[in-house]
Amino acid sequence: MQSSALDESKVTLNYHHEAAGHHGHPDHRMFGVILFLIGDSMTFLGFFAAFLIYRTMMPVWPPEGTPELELLVPIINTIVLVSSSFVMHQGQTAIKRNDVSGLRLWFGITAAMGAVFLLGQGYEYFHSELGLTTNLFASCFYALTGFHGLHVTVGVLLILSVLWRSRSKEHYSSGSHFGVEAAEIYWHFVDVIWVILFILVYLL
């Protein structure tokens, strides 16, 4: 911009330009999804930060009398959720080969694994001695896992909607499968969050 005068090349260039980008709409949806996930990760960051502040500031943490968290179910859950990410990726690989039934298969399995995770979470809630208001740790536990569970639920719904749309063979193809990619990146995101959450809440 410094010392700029009328830029001649710009003028000529522009004037005869038949604007490829202007009429053909390039697809920015993926960019938008990533921005959304950045925002969403800040929500979790907020929760995690609060949790960590409590953890470091409170004299006893978890507060006295908090029953030990059962680890078996959450560990199984972690394994299920982490491996589901790999399963799901197979689905995307399939659609890149134009293999819609492959996509349906792998996504179906992923959805089922997500459901298993949610069931496991439910089991944990019902069998836990912690109540939502037992103490600060219990409240944090439910808030964090609950908010994450909400995300898993949304993820499962997204996968199901991909499955629903893929009933017609033409909907997704190797060239156009934004829905598949969006659902997948979201799922990976939820997965990563879970790993952090698991370490923070269960292991630390």
Partner 1 sequence: MSTSAEKIVTSTHDGQKAEHKQRKWQDYFTFNTDHKVIGIQYLVTAFLFYFVGGALAEVMRTELATPEPDLVQPEFYNQIMTMHGTIMLFLWIIPAGAAFANFLIPLMIGAEDMAFPRLNAVAYWMFPIGGILLMSSFFVGPAQAGWTSYPPLSLVASKWGQEIWILSILILGTSTILGSINFITTILKMRMPDMDIHSMPLFCWSMLATSGLILLGTPVLAAALILLSFDLIAGTSFFNPAGGGDPIVYQHMFWFYSHPAVYIMVLPFFGIISEVLPVHARKPIFGYRAIAYSSLAIAFLGLIVWAHHMFTSGTPGWLRMFFMATTMVIAVPTGIKVFSWTATIWGGKINLNSAMLFGVGFISLFLIGGLSGIMVASVPFDIHVHDTYFVVAHFHYVLFGGSVLALFAGIYHWFPKMTGRMLNETWGRIHFALTYIGFNLTFLPMHQLGIQGMNRRVALYDAQFQSVNMICTIGSYILAVSTLPFVVNVLWSVFKGEKAGRNPWRALTLEWQTSSPPAIENFEEEPVLWAGPYEYGVDTEMIDEDSSIEEMLAEVSAEAK
Partner 2 sequence: MNIPSNIVTLIVGIVVTLLSLWYGQNHGLLPVAASSEAVQIDELFNFMMTVSTGLFLLIEGILIYSVIKFRRPKGDTTDGSPIEGNVPLEILWTAIPTVIVLILAIYSFEVYNAMGGLDPMAAHDMGPHTVARAESNSKENLIAFDPDRKQVALGLGVSPETKEGENQLVINVNGIQYAWIFTYPESGIVSGDMHIPVGRPVKLNITAGDVLHAFWLPEFRLKQDAVPGREVQLTFTPNRVGQYPIICAELCGAYHGGMKSQLYVQTEEEYQQWLQQNTLAQSDVESTLAANAASSSDSEFLAPLAAEIGVEADTIAQLHALHHHPLNAEL
Q: Does 157 bind partner 1 (CB under 8 A)?
A: no
Cβ distance to partner 1 smaller for residue 40 or 70: 40
Q: Does 13 bind partner 1 (CB under 8 A)?
A: yes
At 202, list the tokens: 């269960």
Spatial distance between the Cα atoms of 69 and 58, rounded to a whole number of angstroms? 19
List residues binding partner 2 (CB under 8 A).
Answer: 1-4, 57-59
For residue 3, the partner it binds in partner 2, partner 1, none, with Cβ less than 5 to 8 A by kind, is partner 2
Spatial distance between the Cα atoms of 173 and 96, rounded to a whole number of angstroms? 7
Q: Does 67 bind partner 1 (CB under 8 A)?
A: no
**Dihedral sign of CA atoms 179, 185, 190, 191 in order:** positive
Q: 65: phi > 0 → left, psi -120 to 50 → alpha, else beta; which? A: left
Residue ranges that bind partner 1, judged by CB under 8 A = 1, 4-8, 10-15, 17-22, 26, 28-29, 31-32, 35-36, 38-47, 49-50, 53-54, 57-58, 63, 132-133, 135-136, 139-140, 143, 147
